Chain A
Amino acid sequence: MDSNYPSPYNTLPMTSSIRLLLFLILPLLSGCQSFHEAYRAKPIAPLRATIELKADDPEWKDFTDLTVKLDNYEEGVHLSQKFEGKTVQVEGVIPGIYTISVSGTASSTHKETFLLKGNQVNYPLFEGQERVQITMNGLKVSPLVFKEIYYAGSRTPLKAIYFRDQYYEIYNNSGKTIYLDGIYFANLHPDKSTKKVPIWPESDAGKYVYARRIWKFPGAGKDYPLASGESVIIAQFAANHKLPQYNPLSPADLSGAEFEFNMDNPKFPDQPAIDMVHVFYDGSALKGRIPQYLTPVFGGAFILFAPPENEEWDPVSDQTLQTPDLGTSAKTLYAKVPIRYVLDAVECIDNESMAGAKRVAPALDAGMTWVGSTYNGLAVTRKPQPDEDGNPLTWSTGAFILQDTNDSSEDFERGVPPILRRYGAKKPSWSTSQTN
């Protein structure tokens, strides 16, 4: 590997003769290196890539259904292969920069199921570098998932932009009733997909994700049950956005949303929906100067999480749970959320051209999803899990089991018109919503 930052664009003042001399000499010097690199290049040939797994957690037994995927999103190369064991070789790989993902399942002696994911993002495969080691992380299968996310906003009849109709549908994907009380919702940093990933403290050692703003469901513990197959809607602003004073072309009537991100904005007054509890923003519990909770219309990264019962977690009081982005001079503080707290994570990006700009830990979400452009009134929605015959899997109650492989590239349908409670999801019994 060599680094090369040609920087002949010097801003020091120069006489015109020195400038002319540099104009003649600099091309010669950089040209020698260019000639050397160009003549050294050999014709491209396909490789045999070897992928080795590092999966050392003693709880994991019985590795099954392992699949390795090699994706070069820029060039459109996608390879996939099933295997057993901890090593696999893939033939016919065109050299390039790949995102290499391995997924499978393991079960523990306590009969818990772990979804195993491992990922190497932007890994160059070329002659002389054909081996790659993937560290596998496991996540217990979560009962609570993001079912649908509508973030892109819409256009008004006069073609202006409109973003007040964002919403998030949270679904109970398990066969048991769970309680929403105290479950956290957060959007992660960076807000928008970018190849300039942040720099976090080395001591964090990949154990955290970093939240920009955190909310949580209210309740004392059992106030908000969510039965199997039920879902709740959290709206940025819980109104019917199709009304003339908002945007008749909006696809979302959120007047029946159960929860709302109330930012005390007099122009968008508090609606009957239950307010989410604001937990964290820029190092404090205050909501900040700007009275709106707008997540990026290009696509943000979102998590649902819950600390274990016996653990305290307070990023406002505990400053060791706060950090700025060390890659910039900005002083904004982000909250550290341990990866093992996360119940579900979804990473949304602008479009497939940003597929190489992975910013969420692959153990949480190995892929990404998108709607393709901004203000197009489209959403992403989780797919039903199919059985062997392609029919949706359901619980005995008839509730759909949604696909949750911790890979939103596979788990989500992209660019669909938003529909509240798709696939017949039900409202919780305590919901006062008059609409669907």
Chain B
Amino acid sequence: MTINRFSPVLLVLLILKGIPLTQAQQRDVGVFERIRLESQWQHGNVGAGMTLDSIASFRNVELTYEHTSGKFRSPLSGEKEQNINVTAQEYIRLKELRLWGKFSFLQNLTDSAGYNASISDPFRGMPYYVIDPYRSDWRKQLYDLQFCASLPLPNRRILLGMRGGYHAGLAAKQRDPRVDTRTFTLCFSPSLVYVPSSRHRLGLGIDFRSMKEDSQMRQESYSKDQEYFELYGLGHAIRGLGGGRVTDYKGLCWGLQGQYQYDHPLFLAQGSILGTSGVEDVFFSFSMPRKDASLLEKRVESSVTFLSKGKEVRHRIQGQVGWHERSGIQYMNKRDASESSLGWIRVHGDKRSVFVDNEYSLHYTVYRPLQESYRWLFETNAGYLYSRDTYLLPHSAQEYRQWMAEIRGNHVFDFGDRRHTSLLAQVRGGYIKTFQREFVYGSLHEDYTPPKQLETQNFAFLTSSSLDGECALTLTTDVPSLSHTRTYLRLLYRGRTALRSELGSRTTWNASVGFLF
């Protein structure tokens, strides 16, 4: 399969040549915050309702550079990471049709990441991958394309919509055993919204996602056979020597989504639910595939939102519940050496591991709307997480409970000059507290040190109580030579520190420059 590599520059030019906006705006990046808070359909699951959101047309192009370093990290993360990201998005109204699209290209340079020796993203929840004991650099390129379209039928009681996306990634490990991995994900969600009256809106949709990742390991230098470990969850592993293995991941996920909105002159109330079930299979080798394992995933997410429609001040309260269970199934395969059907016969499969994550959160936001953005905003969030991972036989387990709290405040300062310059100042502080943890390591291979170290270090990181803070300044101003165009520069600093000083801290510097049309 080949990847069509988009030229970010070409895409930017295409967008700049696009349909002109219908009105001049003196907007700032706060407009995206308003969309997140108020556009329940565009930001939710049922894309067909995007027509019901009050979003003015916009275009945005942004170039970001981000640098992260520090000791307080997962052992799978790099000591230092740099990202260069180009993003372009546009929302347009074409008579009754509403269209939104976004393209993003990310170049990632990760230095000295530990363990992971096979997949592009070891944090995506796949327990079956390969590790080695060595630190290595990774180079990644990620392409992300998303769109959403909404169109009401002539009777205006039914709205049809489609949300979709295509993501492709390339990743390469820079040290033996070398890894070249390619990821493709295609997702689309057709939906419809029924509007029986001016107050009630009911949306239903189907979610479909197909993904594939193929990971090829090889040895460049044959002077020394490299050791690696094929992981099966919670430190259970099989050791190998040499050039590693070729792994093929194939996943399919189906889901149903529902969304209900009550539109009162004074407020909006909404509830939504999304249920998905997916299976991702792990095959060893392409020439003679052997199905090693599967990950069966079930997820239910629901939320309830209340948004007041005051002219001076608006309040928004949202409660979210998420239940996520993954089951790891491992297969027994026997080799069939007969001439008629040479290959592997899958004789049996057992559920060997279960991973459960339950999340509950509450968010309260109060802000003063101003045109499409806001003058000031204050938000507080609280959350609770319960996580339990279990390997059934031989028994291993990791369990912990955390609560988190966060407050943030934003303010937009207008300089009152001819170029409508404004400064958005953002401050955020958060706290994560772990108040229960259990770790049982039951692998029978006591001499397999790297898997045990990985599990121990990763658990220590995940269950560390920590403080984090962030501040950002975004300066926005008109571009003199281009009408309806504003440019902005954002500088951001984020820091996180563990309460146990020996775990250290981690900081991120981020600089972005962008255009708003």
Interface residues of A (CB under 8 A from B): 1-7, 9, 23-24, 27-28, 30-31, 34-35, 37-46, 74-77, 94-97, 122, 124, 126-129, 159, 195-197, 199, 326-327, 350-353, 373-374
Q: Tell me which residues from 323 to 369 in chain B have a Cβ below 8 Å from any Cβ of chain A.
A: 327, 329, 332-337, 339, 341, 343-352
Given contacts A34-B252, A38-B294, A327-B337, 9 further A-B contacts (CB under 8 A): A5-B344, A37-B349, A38-B329, A41-B296, A41-B327, A41-B329, A43-B350, A74-B238, A373-B225
Question: Taking the complex as formed, is B123 at the interface, i.e. its CB lies under 8 A from any CB of chain A?
Answer: no
**A298 to B327, alpha carbons, bound, how many Å?**
38
Interface residues of B (CB under 8 A from A): 186, 210, 223, 225, 236, 238-241, 250, 252, 277, 279, 281, 283, 286, 288-289, 291, 294, 296, 327, 329, 332-337, 339, 341, 343-352, 392-394, 443-445
Are the C-beta atoms of B348 and A126 separated by less than 8 Å? Answer: yes
* In the complex with contacts A75-B236, A75-B238, A96-B332, A34-B294 CB distance below 8 A: yes
* In the complex with contacts A34-B294, A75-B236, A41-B346 CB distance below 8 A: no
Are the C-beta atoms of B348 and A3 separated by less than 8 Å? Answer: no
Are the C-beta atoms of A3 and B336 separated by less than 8 Å? Answer: yes
Most buried by A among B288, B347, B445: B347
Chain B hits for A24, CB < 8 A: 186, 210
Closest A residue by C-beta to B223: A159
Q: Which residue from A2, A43, A327 sits with its C-beta under 8 Å from B346?
A: A2
- The distance from the CB of A139 to the nearest CB of chain B, in whole angstroms, is 26
**A49 to B339, alpha carbons, bound, how many Å?**
31
Q: Which residue from B277, B281, B334, B350 sits with its C-beta under 8 Å from A42?
A: B350
Are the C-beta atoms of B347 and A124 separated by less than 8 Å? Answer: yes
**A178 to B482, alpha carbons, bound, how many Å?**
102
Closest A residue by C-beta to B444: A76
Are the C-beta atoms of A28 and B252 separated by less than 8 Å? Answer: yes
Most buried by B among A45, A96, A159, A195: A96
Chain A hits for B445, CB < 8 A: 76
**A6 to B286, alpha carbons, bound, how many Å?**
9
- The distance from the CB of A206 to the nearest CB of chain B, in whole angstroms, is 14
- The distance from the CB of B101 to the nearest CB of chain A, in whole angstroms, is 20
**A24 to B208, alpha carbons, bound, how many Å?**
11
**A76 to B447, alpha carbons, bound, how many Å?**
11
Most buried by A among B186, B327, B332: B332
Are the C-beta atoms of B252 and A353 separated by less than 8 Å? Answer: no
**A327 to B337, alpha carbons, bound, how many Å?**
8
Are the C-beta atoms of B294 and A37 separated by less than 8 Å? Answer: yes
Question: What are 15 A-to-B residue pairs whose CB atoms are below 8 Å?
Answer: A1-B347, A27-B210, A28-B252, A31-B252, A38-B296, A41-B350, A43-B392, A45-B393, A95-B348, A124-B332, A126-B347, A127-B348, A129-B348, A351-B241, A374-B225
Chain A hits for B444, CB < 8 A: 75-77
Are the C-beta atoms of A126 and B332 separated by less than 8 Å? Answer: yes
Chain B hits for A327, CB < 8 A: 337, 339
**A41 to B337, alpha carbons, bound, how many Å?**
26
Closest B residue by C-beta to A4: B346
**A37 to B291, alpha carbons, bound, how many Å?**
11
**A20 to B332, alpha carbons, bound, how many Å?**
33
Closest A residue by C-beta to B445: A76
**A44 to B350, alpha carbons, bound, how many Å?**
5
Chain B hits for A41, CB < 8 A: 294, 296, 327, 329, 349-351
Chain A hits for B241, CB < 8 A: 350-351, 353, 373
- The distance from the CB of A320 to the nearest CB of chain B, in whole angstroms, is 22
Q: Which residue from B250, B296, B345, B392 sits with its C-beta under 8 Å from A3?
A: B345
Are the C-beta atoms of A122 and B335 separated by less than 8 Å? Answer: yes
Are the C-beta atoms of B281 and A126 separated by less than 8 Å? Answer: no
**A38 to B90, alpha carbons, bound, how many Å?**
40
Are the C-beta atoms of B334 and A122 separated by less than 8 Å? Answer: yes
- The distance from the CB of B344 to the nearest CB of chain A, in whole angstroms, is 8
Are the C-beta atoms of B345 and A2 separated by less than 8 Å? Answer: yes
Chain B hits for A96, CB < 8 A: 332
**A192 to B365, alpha carbons, bound, how many Å?**
68
- The distance from the CB of B350 to the nearest CB of chain A, in whole angstroms, is 4
Chain A hits for B443, CB < 8 A: 76
- The distance from the CB of B437 to the nearest CB of chain A, in whole angstroms, is 24
**A21 to B346, alpha carbons, bound, how many Å?**
29
- The distance from the CB of A154 to the nearest CB of chain B, in whole angstroms, is 14
Chain A hits for B283, CB < 8 A: 6
Are the C-beta atoms of A39 and B296 separated by less than 8 Å? Answer: yes
- The distance from the CB of A348 to the nearest CB of chain B, in whole angstroms, is 15
**A43 to B296, alpha carbons, bound, how many Å?**
13
Most buried by B among A4, A38, A41: A38
Q: Which residue from B289, B329, B335, B348 sits with its C-beta under 8 Å from A195?
A: B335
Closest A residue by C-beta to B209: A27
Chain A to chain B: the 3 pairs with minimum beta-carbon distance, closest first: A31-B252, A76-B444, A44-B350
**A30 to B248, alpha carbons, bound, how many Å?**
14
Closest B residue by C-beta to A43: B351
**A394 to B69, alpha carbons, bound, how many Å?**
65
Chain B hits for A195, CB < 8 A: 335
Are the C-beta atoms of A95 and B351 separated by less than 8 Å? Answer: no
Are the C-beta atoms of B393 and A94 separated by less than 8 Å? Answer: yes
Chain A hits for B294, CB < 8 A: 34, 37-38, 41
Are the C-beta atoms of A124 and B334 separated by less than 8 Å? Answer: yes
Chain B hits for A3, CB < 8 A: 336, 341, 343-346
Are the C-beta atoms of A6 and B289 separated by less than 8 Å? Answer: yes
**A327 to B336, alpha carbons, bound, how many Å?**
12
Most buried by B among A2, A75, A373: A75
Are the C-beta atoms of A34 and B343 separated by less than 8 Å? Answer: no
Chain B hits for A159, CB < 8 A: 223
Are the C-beta atoms of A42 and B351 separated by less than 8 Å? Answer: yes
- The distance from the CB of B229 to the nearest CB of chain A, in whole angstroms, is 10
Q: Which residue from B225, B250, B341 sits with its C-beta under 8 Å from A30?
A: B250
**A61 to B356, alpha carbons, bound, how many Å?**
57
**A95 to B352, alpha carbons, bound, how many Å?**
10
Chain A hits for B345, CB < 8 A: 1-3
